[in-house]
Chain A
């Protein structure tokens, strides 16, 4: 009885994961701005692959030898996805592919701004 329930749970988590993968890929293809496109594929990395790994864990539980090694991959992806997204956002800002941040207010409290007249920076 519990095997049948576990098989249905594994199939359900596989379907949810593949749905998130598909939605992320469609968002990567259809959005119209670099920073907006950055939003969609992060769901593929966290929720989509997380649900596929959950289905894999439930499947090993069905077949007898339960393994929770997949939690390692899940934790690694959850840690590294924001870091790579941050780096790609920095690349977008660096290449001016988005609205650049506003210029800082022009105050002269910094010592490097108080250079004497006639002296080049």
Chain B
């Protein structure tokens, strides 16, 4: 059991590192991004990476409350992406 737990700890550390690296790379694309679409896409990817960070944090601490947090982040991320895209497309969010 100890070997399996050690493998799980290493996998958790690798997942944290991969999500943090993905967050940093999306932030670089958010700063560089030549068009508005790239910036919206980078923000969407950052929200999804943050969702993954919350999920991995919930596995690490073994607390069930992180499920609600990640569900809320998923919904808000989708709504904000659609709102930004609609603002660029139509000049207005709710017509």
Contact = CB atoms under 8 A, between A and B. Distances in A.
A111 interface: no
A90 B18 contact: no
A110 B14 CA distance: 60
Contact of B45 (A14, A17, A28, A80): A28
B16 to A, nearest CB: 8
A70 B22 contact: no
6 contacts: A12-B11, A21-B52, A24-B22, A34-B35, A67-B64, A80-B74
Interface of A: 3-4, 7-8, 10-12, 14-15, 17-19, 21-22, 24-26, 28-29, 34, 37-38, 41, 44-45, 48-49, 52-53, 55-56, 59-60, 63, 65, 67, 69-70, 72-73, 76-77, 80, 83-84, 87-92, 94-95, 97
